[in-house]
Amino acid sequence: MNSVLALSDSGGAFPLLTVFGLCVVCTLLLSIGSILPEKHELSGFYLGQRRLPSFVNGLAIFGSYMSAAGMLGNPGLIALTGYDGIAYVLAPMVAWSVLVLVVAEPYHSTSRFTIGDSLALRLQARPAHLAAGITSVVVCLLYLTAQLVGAGALAATVLGIDGDGAQRVVVAGLGLLMVLYVVIGGMRAATLVQSIKAVVLLATGLFVVLAVLSEFDWSPARLLDAAVLHSGLGGSFLEPGIRFHDRTNKIDSVSLQLAFVLGAAALPHVLMRIGTVSSGRRARKSAGWAACLVIVFTLFEVVTGLGSAALIGSQTIKENAASGNTAVLLTAERLGGPFLLTVIACVAFVTIVAVVAALTLTAAAALAHDVYGATIMRGRASEKSELVVARLGVGLIGVAAIALSMLAQHLNIAFLVSLAFAIAASAILPALLFNLWWKGFTTKGAVWSMYGGLLVALLLTALSPAVSGNATALLPDMDFAVFPLRNPGLISIPVGFLLAWTGSVLDRRERGGADYTETEIRVLTGTGTGRHDG
């Protein structure tokens, strides 16, 4: 990491910390200023009173979805693996099409605050809320832990922080900052952070793309030629097989892509943002805007990754970090010196902050609304008491994520992000789609699919090479990897759908399916939006 760490050695860490500190102070002040008197406090905390314009919500959806792993990891993967990396990062384009066409509008029309609300509209409330709440919290905690560990690694890379204590201070600081944001302003504060992050991320990405193209006289052909030349792989750089060179790796690639494509349409923190606009039509527009932004930024990632290979060289990137995560930082330093490196690092920190805010709020809502309000209090909790539990839940989730990330600071937990997507696709998506579109769906089917999909995904991952059996695993000195794939999606997703169907067919309490009348009307007409908030 000598090239990147030269920033800290030369005193360049001071402007980075100064700029990042100013960003933190400004967003915190804006979050405090975003608090307005609320007629319905719970709706305001969870959804910002459903008042967001479609474009702003689309920006925020993009901001909550696009993580630092995508911003830093995807271009690095392209720089190291060429064609395979490009194919890997194009999956979000398909995922957002699924969200726009199938999920966004009907989900908005059937949900009040959480996934559990959408299910409970036609299913038995307590088991539906409890299963949805537990699954949502697990997905959010996995994602949160990975984001906070990434924050510590980023600080170590850019600032040259080698001590465990210093890295843990960075992680704890970011985690507590997000707790403060969300406790103060709820969805309003989270939206503000996510929207600012989205604008800055897109602007910075465009600047880097233009800077890369200018190095090659604005010719994509020259860029490709230079990437092939400096990749060290020759013509095979633009052919499949570098990353997935044997049958198991190819199957693993399909499993991973399936989890990302389907899981993106069922991530709890993305679905929660769907409800922040006033109608199903605006929800569809929001998802459409987000899809467009994801596609644009994915193209930015492709150009940046090829530019990294052309300007830095794949071998140099791999020597700096085997994962390729520093490729963007190295390229930024090559193009714009310490100043651009400082900007990119700040954008990466803000990216982590925005995603952590969305995840923290969503997990807290699942705890307060699904577990406390609907399950423990059987739907009789007052808005005031649920709001108190929600704010306490923010603190609880934040502290738990900080503790987990500190324990995992030096462990290889890169698989946690793909596991979160796999659980969303295996446990949440089957229940969500069957609930919205199948008359024969029942409570038993929902419970079986959510708990079964969750447990199968966790079990297969625990028995996979991601956890043991090789030098890059979570536990490299142990070997109980009897499942050959690193991502369980290829098995766990069909199992989740099968369990949803089987449980419904065998359900004797709701023969032929739970009452679909109201759900069908809402799905087809979009009526009922905000029915509990008025």
Q: How far apart are CA 469 and CA 477, in angstroms?
A: 7
Q: Identify which of 58, 56, 53 has the alpha carbon closest to the alpha carbon of residue 100.
A: 58
Checking if the pLDDT of 500 tops 70, the result is: yes
Handedness of CA 274, 275, 280, 283 (dihedral sign): negative
Checking if the pLDDT of 456 tops 90, the result is: yes
Do the beta carbons of residue 35 and residue 354 sit within 8 Å? no
Rounded to the nearest angstrom, the gap between the alpha carbon of residue 387 and the centroid of all alpha carbons in its chain is: 25
- What integer pLDDT is reported at residue 365 of this predicted model? 93
Checking if the pLDDT of 531 tops 50, the result is: no
Q: Pick 184 or 2 by higher pLDDT.
A: 184
- What integer pLDDT is reported at residue 82 of this predicted model? 87
Checking if the pLDDT of 26 tops 80, the result is: no
Burial class (CB in 10 A: 0-12, 13-18, 19+), 449: buried
- Record the tokens describing residue 13, joined without a space: 């860490």
- Average pLDDT value over all residues in the chain: 84
Residues sharing a CB contact under 8 Å with residue 43, sequence separation 6 or more, in sequence order: 49, 50, 113, 530, 532, 533
Three-state DSSP class for 180?
helix
- Record the tokens describing residue 415, joined without a space: 């698989």
Tokens 């503000």 sit at which residue? Answer: 192
Q: How far apart are CA 279 and CA 268, in angstroms?
A: 19
Split at pLDDT 50, 70, 90, the class of 534 is: very low
With a pLDDT cut of 70, the percent of the chain lying above it is 87
Q: How far apart are CA 223 and CA 463, in angstroms?
A: 42
Checking if the pLDDT of 490 tops 90, the result is: yes
pLDDT digits (tens, 9 = 90+) for 367-400: 999 999 999 999 888 888 999 999 899 989 988 9
Q: Identify which of 424, 434, 334, 404 has the alpha carbon closest to the alpha carbon of residue 118.
A: 434
pLDDT digits (tens, 9 = 90+) for 59-70: 988 988 887 777
Q: How far apart are CA 379 and CA 382, in angstroms?
A: 9
Read off the pLDDT of each residue in 507-512 and give the average, rounded to a whole number.
89
Q: Identify which of 413, 445, 50, 364 has the alpha carbon closest to the alpha carbon of residue 181.
A: 364
Read off the pLDDT of each residue in 283-307 and give the average, rounded to a whole number.
91
Q: 241's torsion region: left (phi>0), alpha (psi -120 to 50) or beta?
A: left
Do the beta carbons of residue 123 and residue 374 sit within 8 Å? no
Residues sharing a CB contact under 8 Å with residue 199, sequence separation 6 or more, in sequence order: 59
- What integer pLDDT is reported at residue 19 of this predicted model? 63
- What integer pLDDT is reported at residue 329 of this predicted model? 87
> DSSP assignment of 291-333, as one string?
HHHHHHHHHHHHHHHHHHHHHT-HHHHHHH-TT-TTHHHHHHH
- What integer pLDDT is reported at residue 533 of this predicted model? 43
Burial class (CB in 10 A: 0-12, 13-18, 19+), 101: middle
- What integer pLDDT is reported at residue 6 of this predicted model? 45
Checking if the pLDDT of 161 tops 70, the result is: no
Q: Pick 152 or 534 by higher pLDDT.
A: 152
Backbone angles phi, psi at 314, to 5 degrees: -60, -40
Checking if the pLDDT of 13 tops 60, the result is: no
Which ranges in 366-442 belong to alpha helices (H)? 383-407, 415-423, 429-437
Q: How far apart are CA 375 and CA 381, in angstroms?
A: 10
pTM of the model: 0.88
pLDDT digits (tens, 9 = 90+) for 167-225: 777 777 777 877 877 887 788 777 888 888 889 899 999 999 999 999 999 999 999 99
Q: Pick 150 or 86 by higher pLDDT.
A: 86
Q: How far apart are CA 508 and CA 384, in angstroms?
A: 38
Q: Please state at what angle helix 164-215 crosses helix 125-159, rounded to 10 degrees.
A: 80
Give bridge partners of residue 468 from the DSSP assignment.
Answer: 475
pLDDT digits (tens, 9 = 90+) for 346-367: 788 778 878 888 899 999 999 9
Mind spelling out the 3-state secondary structure of 69-128? Answer: HHHHHHHHHHHHHCHHHHHHHCHHHHHHHHHHHHHHHHHHHHCCCCHHHHHHCCCCHHHH
Q: How far apart are CA 480 and CA 42, in angstroms?
A: 46
- What integer pLDDT is reported at residue 528 of this predicted model? 64
- What integer pLDDT is reported at residue 482 of this predicted model? 92
Do the beta carbons of residue 234 and residue 78 sit within 8 Å? no
Backbone angles phi, psi at 447, to 5 degrees: -65, -45
Three-state DSSP class for 474?
coil
Q: Identify which of 118, 102, 116, 99 has the alpha carbon closest to the alpha carbon of residue 57.
A: 99
Q: Which of 66-70, 144-148, 216-220, 252-256 has the highest mean pLDDT?
A: 216-220
Read off the pLDDT of each residue in 47-65 and give the average, rounded to a whole number.
85
Check residue 233 and report its DSSP letter: S
Q: How far apart are CA 424 and CA 263, in angstroms?
A: 5
Amino acid identity, position 210: L
Split at pLDDT 50, 70, 90, the class of 417 is: confident
Read off the pLDDT of each residue in 56-81 and give the average, rounded to a whole number.
85
Q: Which of 151-155, 229-233, 253-257 has the lowest mean pLDDT?
A: 151-155
Checking if the pLDDT of 426 tops 90, the result is: yes
Provide long-range contacts, Cβ within 8 A and 24+ apart, for 385-389: 386/42, 387/41, 387/42, 387/45
Q: 527's torsion region: left (phi>0), alpha (psi -120 to 50) or beta?
A: beta
- What integer pLDDT is reported at residue 314 of this predicted model? 87
- Record the tokens describing residue 480, joined without a space: 């109980």
